[in-house]
Amino acid sequence: MSQYVLRRLLIAVPSLLAISLVLFVVLALAPGDPFSELATNPNVPPEVQAALRARFGLDDPIYLRYVHWLNAMLHGDWGFSFVSRMDVDTLILQRLPATLYVIGSAQILALLIAIPVGVYAATKPYSLFDQVANTLAFVGFSLPTFFTGILFILIFSVTLDWLPFVYTTDIKATGIHYVLEMIRQAIMPVAVLGLFQAASMTRFVRSAMLDVIRLDYVTTARAKGLGQAKVIVKHVMRNAMIPVVTLIALQMPAVFGGAIVTEQIFRIPGIGSLLISSILSNDTPVVMAVTFVFACLVVLFNLIADVLYGWLDPRISLR
């Protein structure tokens, strides 16, 4: 097992290097520069722009900039944002709590809905429950989050005036009021995102369960006289969860990365909106750092998924 993990880790290092190189080159070749807003401003002479470019190393050749970046990164220096002139790691850490809270809750909500509904629907395929669940799931993942988001805002904020639609990081309240307010403002984004995720996940859980439920060993288990609940939970679910774990594990980076659209709609100051605004202002160090963190997370969670497979089905890690 440990050898298996070690082997996976060793593969991860060169892939991360390759990913960082590709990201860096793509960003360096992309059009636009972080000081474009200064270009239309008659108060800012071209020399200042040139000085800024030189100071921030934008005029160096790409390979040199990459080597600098890699070197700094290895020393734990993430560089600083051209736009806010703040260290990138501070910037990301500032944004992380909101993302983890909102997107994480949405992910948990999705799991809480998807697993029971998917499992139950699979045990009674083509029953009324299954058909209703299926229809809702189809509707759920056909509606994009920007649509449901705005629909929710129109219903719950504008018409009913129940919920705020601008997410505030600093609520001026303490104790229980703070907690309640935090929950209140997260209801809409969490619901929008959670229901969307739940819809596709339900379909996935259901089909994974159906695949397993028809296998001979399940019939054998039933024939031995095991109760329905025991068969489903111990024999079917454990095996059916392997593909589901893959799906969830690969979605975990998204939890950290934030849901860009949802964050924009509800003004959640998360990583996703940081990435979008940094891309728009060509703030290369931030874009580089955020995308690289994504890459690391994808690699990491792939690794975790692999290890989980080994636990769920010991045959996998032996190969």
Partner 1 sequence: MLDKELRSMIGDVKDGRMDRRAFIKRLAVVGLTAPMANQILALGGVAMAQSPNAYPPTKRGGGGPLKLLWWQGPTLLNPHFATGTKDQDGSRLFYEPLASWDANGNLNPILAAEIPSVANGGLAADGKMVTWKIKPGVKWHDGKPLTADDFVFTWAYASDPATAAVSISTYAEMTVEKVDDLTIRLLFKNPTPFWANAFVGAYGCVIPKHLFADYKGSKSREAPANLAPVGTGPYKFVEFKPGDLVRGALNPDYHMPNRPYFDTIDMKGGGDAVSAARAVIQTGEFDFAWNMQVEDDVLLRLEKGGKGKTVYATGGDIEFIAINFTDPNTEVDGERSSMKTKHPILSDPNVRKALALLVDRESVKKAIYGRAGRTTANYLNGPEKFVSKNTSWEFNIEKASKMLDDAGWKVGADGIREKDGKKFKLLYQTSTNGPRQKTQAIVKQACQKAGIEVELKSVVASVFFSSDVANPDTYPKFYADIEEFQIPMTQPDPALHMRRYISANVATKENKWQGQNFPRYVNKDYDAAIAAAETETDPVKRATLYIKCNDLLWQDTVFIPVMHRLKVEAAANNLRPALSGWANETDNIQDWYREA
Q: Which of 138, 280, 313, 314 binds partner 1 (CB under 8 A)?
A: 280
216 interacts with partner 1 by CB under 8 A: no
| Placement of tokens 């470019």 in the chain | 53
Residue 291 near partner 1 by CB under 8 A: no
Interface map 96-135 toward partner 1 (x if CB under 8 A): ----------------------------------------
On whether the CB atoms of residues 259 and 275 are closer than 8 A, the answer is: no
**Exposure of 96 by Cβ count < 10 A (0-12 exposed, 13-18 middle, 19+ buried)?**
middle
Give helix then strand counts, H and E, for the chain. 15, 0
In this chain, which of 134, 169, 200, 317 binds partner 1, going by CB under 8 A? 169
Token pair, residue 110, equals 């999705």
Applying CB under 8 A, does 36 fall inside the site for partner 1?
yes
Burial call 219-238: b when 16+ CB within 10 Å, e when fewer: eebeeeeeeeeebbeebbbe
Q: Which of 158, 173, 215, 250 binds partner 1 (CB under 8 A)?
A: 158
CB of 154: closest distance to partner 1 in angstroms? 9
The answer to whether 145 touches 193, Cβ cutoff 8 Å, is yes
Binding mask 235-274 for partner 1 (x = CB under 8 A): -----------------------------xx-x-x---xx
**Residue 213, Cβ neighbours under 10 Å: how many?**
20
User: Contact with partner 1 (CB under 8 A): which of 4, 19, 60, 84?
Assistant: 84
Among 6, 11, 48, 173, binds partner 1 (CB under 8 A): 48
Axis-axis angle for helices 271-280, 88-123 (nearest 10): 130
Question: 5, 16, 28, 38: which one contacts partner 1 (CB under 8 A)?
Answer: 38
Count, residues near partner 1 per rule CB under 8 A: 51
Say how far apart CA 284 and CA 33 lie, in whole Å. Answer: 9
> Does residue 61 bind partner 1 (CB under 8 A)?
no
Q: Which residues pair with 87 in a beta bridge?
A: 80
What is the DSSP secondary structure assignment for residue 43, as one 8-state letter? T
From the list 13, 18, 155, 166, which residue makes contact with partner 1 (rule: CB under 8 A)?
A: 166
Does the footprint of partner 1 cover residue 41 (CB under 8 A)?
A: yes
